[in-house]
């Protein structure tokens, strides 16, 4: 993680700009949704307390999101902020103080590393206990939650051979269990021996349970390509393309670039000469978006573009 540049004076300008941008009252609904989707809250405090900060911290507390609070010692806290720190943050946040911007950068790096390492160790210990408990009970409607947690932990450890039958068992017993269908489809579509058609069926169920779930719809479109149903794959990609605001952040931009690459492949698989130009347009759109991002994920998908062009030409010449 890299927060600051070499010129510390510019760092303070950036921090000031962020503070001026932050709304002085309540955060907007879209911003609240962003807080709830976060894994960690990093809180930078100056001398005064914004009402919006109270609400953001409350949202994080209710969701159980870890809070890392940083206070610059060069500023004297106002009365409201002092009371807030004493009553709210001291008990609900990991607290750090700093004087200069480069010190803040180091403390953020250190605290995130510690949080990730400790969190991983706790998850490991909890996962082992969950598996032991789950293996000791039969699969019943009452034990589904425990069994699902055990299956997810085994999947995270790469133990596919044991995770897969657990997901199958849960999906069969509870057809409305989104997570079981979603994870089982991922295994069937991406792990040998593949069963792309079965993956499609589980993802159809998952999208019926949660019609607005972006990941399920994207995975369904990808599985449809693998299962030899490119027309339906294109329709599903078209359904979710408009939901991606690539200006929001780099992850959204990479996702849109990736969607264009996959849809180009689906267009090529139709072996329809009319789809060739549309496929090439998708590739060019992907290139423009990914080049603008220029992070590791974007560079990885950029490398796929030339191979996709060759694939498109091969599909059309062999039709």
- Average pLDDT on 62-75 reads 81
For domain 158-317, the question of CATH label 1.25.40.10 is answered with yes
Q: What CA–CA distances, in Å, run from 97 to 3, 22, 73?
A: 17, 21, 6
Residue 118 pLDDT > 50: yes
pLDDT tens-place string over residues 80-94: 888 888 877 777 788
What are the extents of the domains in the chain?
8-118, 158-317
71 band by pLDDT with thresholds 50, 70 and 90: confident
* Residue bearing the bigger pLDDT, 124 or 242: 242
- DSSP per-residue string spanning 183-245: HHHHHHHHSSSP-HHHHHHHHHHHHHH-TT-HHHHHHHHHHHHHTT-HHHHHHHHHHHHTT--
- The per-residue pLDDT for 120 is 62
pLDDT tens-place string over residues 20-32: 555 444 556 666 7
- The per-residue pLDDT for 8 is 43
- CA 24, CA 22: separation in Å to the nearest integer? 6
Is pTM beyond 0.85? Reply is: no
- CA 319, CA 314: separation in Å to the nearest integer? 9
* Residue bearing the bigger pLDDT, 261 or 135: 261
- Average pLDDT on 28-42 reads 74
Residue 212 pLDDT > 50: yes
- Average pLDDT on 162-167 reads 94
- Average pLDDT on 216-222 reads 96
Residue 4 pLDDT > 50: no
φ/ψ of 45, rounded to 5, equals -110, 140
């Amino acid at each position: 993680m890299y927060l600051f540049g070499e010129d510390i004076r510019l760092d303070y300008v950036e921090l000031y700009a962020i503070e001026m941008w932050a709304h002085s009252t309540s955060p907007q609904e879209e911003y609240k949704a962003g807080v709830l989707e976060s894994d960690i809250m990093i809180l930078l405090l100056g001398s005064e307390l914004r009402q919006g900060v109270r609400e953001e911290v409350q949202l994080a507390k209710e969701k159980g999101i870890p809070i890392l609070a940083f206070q610059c010692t060069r500023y004297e806290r106002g009365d409201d902020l002092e009371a807030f720190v004493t009553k709210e943050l001291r008990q609900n946040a990991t607290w750090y103080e700093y004087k200069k911007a480069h010190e803040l950068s180091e403390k953020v790096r250190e605290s995130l590393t510690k949080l990730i390492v400790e969190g991983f160790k706790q998850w490991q210990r909890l996962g082992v206990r969950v598996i032991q408990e789950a293996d000791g009970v039969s699969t019943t409607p009452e034990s589904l939650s425990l069994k699902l947690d055990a299956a997810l932990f085994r999947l995270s450890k790469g133990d596919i051979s044991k995770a897969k039958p657990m997901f199958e068992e849960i999906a069969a017993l509870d057809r409305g269990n989104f997570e079981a269908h979603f994870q089982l489809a991922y295994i069937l579509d991406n792990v040998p021996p593949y069963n792309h058609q079965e993956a499609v069926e589980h993802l159809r169920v998952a999208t019926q349970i949660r019609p607005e779930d972006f990941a399920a719809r994207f995975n369904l479109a990808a599985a449809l390509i693998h299962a030899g149903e490119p027309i339906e794959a294109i329709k599903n990609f078209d359904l979710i393309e408009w939901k991606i605001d690539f200006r929001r952040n780099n992850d959204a931009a990479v996702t849109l670039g990736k969607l264009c690459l996959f849809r180009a492949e689906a267009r090529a698989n139709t072996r329809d000469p009319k789809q060739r130009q549309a496929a090439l347009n998708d590739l060019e759109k992907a290139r423009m978006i990914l080049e603008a991002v220029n992070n590791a994920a974007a560079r990885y998908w950029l490398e796929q573009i030339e191979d996709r062009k060759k694939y498109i030409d091969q599909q059309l010449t062999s039709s």
